[in-house]
Amino acid sequence: MTMAVQSPPRERALLVQVVLGHRDRQEAEDSLAELERLADTVGADVVGRITQRRSRPTAGLFIGEGKLADIQLACRESGAGLIIFDNDLSAVQVNNLDLALGIKVIDRTEVILQIFARRAQSAEAKVQVELAQLEYLVSRIPISRKQQRFQGGIGMRGPGESPLQLRNAPMRRRISDLKRRLDRIGKRRASVRKRRPWPLVSLVGYTNAGKSTLLNAFTRADAYVDDRLFATLDTKTRLVHVPGNRNVLLTDTVGFIRHLPHGLVASFRSTLDVAREADLLLLVADASNPGIIAHIKVVHETLEEIGAKDVPYLLVLNKSDAASQDQLDSLCTTYHDAVVVSARQSKGLDILKDRVVEALLAHDVHFPGREH
C-alpha cells in the first residue's frame, strides 16, 4: 500500500551526536542508527555522521567550538544542506548553530514531529500533531525564527495548514482551541469505550515491532504495515475470536521510541487512552533487534508517562522467524512469561490467544455476551 501523501524532494543531511558524560556507547550508537532511519523516513539522505564525546554541553552551541570547523568541512565535502542533531537543542542553541554554520540545523524532536505531521491521516491525528508542533514552536523557537522556518523543506509544517495561516494565527488561541477539540473527541471516545461489549486488548510497543502486522495476522484487517518508523498514527480496533467462544477487541496504537517528545505524548493522549483503559496490553517487541532490551525499557517508561503502568500486560516476542535461536533462548530466560510469535508467518498465534484469555480471566475480566 502506498501513502497518499506526496513526498517533497530529498535533502542531504549530516548527523551530529554529542555523547554526554557516561552515556552507554552501545545505546548512543543505536540512537544514532535510529536517527538515520528517522531522517530517511522524513525524506533526508544521510551523507555523514559526526560524534563528539563531552562531559557536558556548552550553553551557547551545545558542541565545542572546535567541532564547528569539522562540521562545516564535512558539510562542504558531502554537500549536506541540513544538519540533524541527535540531542535535544534549546532554541538559543539552534539559533546560534544556524548562524555559526550557515546551514539549517534541526534536532531529533523536530524530525519526529515532522514524521508525525506527514503520517497523520485522521482528523484526530492531525489535530494532535498540530497541537504538538505549536507547543514546540511556542516553547522553543524565538519569534524571529518562527517565520523563517516556514520556508519549506524539512522543518515545521502542520498538516492542513498553509504557512501563512499558521503564521497569522494567534498561536495561543489556536492551541486552546485544539485542546478543546481533542477534549471533545476524547470524551466521545471514552463514552463509546465504556459501553464496549467485549474486553479491550491494546497492542503497544516500540515503533517497527510488528504491532500492525500482528493485528493483521489475527484479523486480516488491512492495517498499514511499513518498514518505516511510525507507520501507524491512528488506532484501529478489530474483533478477534478467542478460545471458548469468546471475543476481544484488539486495538493497534502508535509506536513508541526513545526520547519521544513529551509534547507529543501529551498531544496523543486521546489516542493513547486506549492503552490506559485497556483490560490487557500486548507489549510487542522485535526479538530480532539487538536493542530489544532497551526498547522494552522505553516502552515501560512511556507506559508510565501515559498513566498505563498498572494495566496488566503480556510480553510478546515477535519476529521469531528473524531472530537467532540463541537470542530467543536468552530472551526467554530473561522474560520467562513472554509469548514467542512470528506475526509475519502467523506462528504462535493460537498460544497467544490462549494466554490472552488466561490473563484476562486471571484479572477477573468478564466476557459478556459469551455463547455457552
Ligand X SMILES: Nc1nc2c(ncn2[C@@H]2O[C@H](COP(=O)(O)OP(=O)(O)OP(=O)(O)O)[C@@H](O)[C@H]2O)c(=O)[nH]1
Residues contributing to the site for Mg ion (CB under 5 A) = 211-212, 231-232
Compute the distance between CA of residue 115 and CA of residue 43 in angstroms, rounded to an integer: 9
Q: What cell numbers appear for 356 in the block?
A: 490472552
Cβ proximity to ligand X: between 84 and 231 the closer is 231
Binding site for ligand X (CB under 6 A): 205, 207-213, 225-227, 229-232, 255, 318-319, 321-322, 342-344
Cβ proximity to ligand X: between 49 and 276 the closer is 276
Cβ proximity to ligand X: between 174 and 319 the closer is 319
Among ligand X, Mg ion, none, partner that 319 touches (CB below 5 to 8 angstroms by kind) = ligand X
Q: How far is the CB of 209 from ligand X (least distance, A)?
A: 4
Compute the distance between CA of residue 332 and CA of residue 19 in angstroms, rounded to an integer: 32
Question: Which SS3 state, helix, strand or coil, does residue 284 take?
Answer: strand
Compute the distance between CA of residue 49 and CA of residue 37 in angstroms, rounded to an integer: 13
Among ligand X, Mg ion, none, partner that 63 touches (CB below 5 to 8 angstroms by kind) = none
Q: How far is the CB of 349 from Mg ion (least distance, A)?
A: 17
Question: Measured in whole angstroms, how far is the alpha carbon of residue 66 from the centre of its chain?
Answer: 34
Number of H helices and E strands in the chain, helices first, is 14, 10
Among Mg ion, ligand X, none, partner that 202 touches (CB below 5 to 8 angstroms by kind) = none
Cβ proximity to ligand X: between 181 and 344 the closer is 344
Q: How far is the CB of 232 from Mg ion (least distance, A)?
A: 3
Calculate the CA dihedral of residues 315, 345, 119, 232 and round it to 10 degrees: -30
Provide the 10 A C-beta neighbour count for residue 203.
28
Q: How far is the CB of 101 from Mg ion (least distance, A)?
A: 36
Q: How far is the CB of 39 from ligand X (least distance, A)?
A: 16
Question: Measured in whole angstroms, how far is the alpha carbon of residue 144 from the centre of its chain?
Answer: 30
Quickly list H helices, the chain.
25-42, 65-78, 91-101, 108-119, 123-140, 143-148, 163-168, 171-194, 211-219, 262-267, 269-276, 292-305, 325-334, 349-362
Among Mg ion, ligand X, none, partner that 321 touches (CB below 5 to 8 angstroms by kind) = ligand X
Among Mg ion, ligand X, none, partner that 229 touches (CB below 5 to 8 angstroms by kind) = ligand X
Q: Which residue is nearest to ligand X (CB)?
A: 255
Cβ proximity to Mg ion: between 114 and 232 the closer is 232
Cβ proximity to ligand X: between 107 and 252 the closer is 252
Among ligand X, Mg ion, none, partner that 209 touches (CB below 5 to 8 angstroms by kind) = ligand X
Q: What cell numbers appear for 224 in the block?
A: 498499514
Among Mg ion, ligand X, none, partner that 88 touches (CB below 5 to 8 angstroms by kind) = none
Distances (CA, A) of 327 to 282, 290, 340: 21, 9, 12
Cβ proximity to Mg ion: between 71 and 231 the closer is 231
Largest CA distance in the chain: 74
Cβ proximity to Mg ion: between 211 and 355 the closer is 211
Among Mg ion, ligand X, none, partner that 65 touches (CB below 5 to 8 angstroms by kind) = none
Residues in contact with 70: Cβ distance below 8 Å, sequence separation at least 6, in sequence order: 50
Compute the distance between CA of residue 89 and CA of residue 106 in angstroms, rounded to an integer: 8
Q: How far is the CB of 221 from ligand X (least distance, A)?
A: 12
Q: How far is the CB of 233 from ligand X (least distance, A)?
A: 8
Q: How far is the CB of 240 from Mg ion (least distance, A)?
A: 16
Compute the distance between CA of residue 126 and CA of residue 233 in angstroms, rounded to an integer: 10
Q: How far is the CB of 227 from ligand X (least distance, A)?
A: 3
Among Mg ion, ligand X, none, partner that 213 touches (CB below 5 to 8 angstroms by kind) = ligand X
Cβ proximity to ligand X: between 77 and 301 the closer is 301
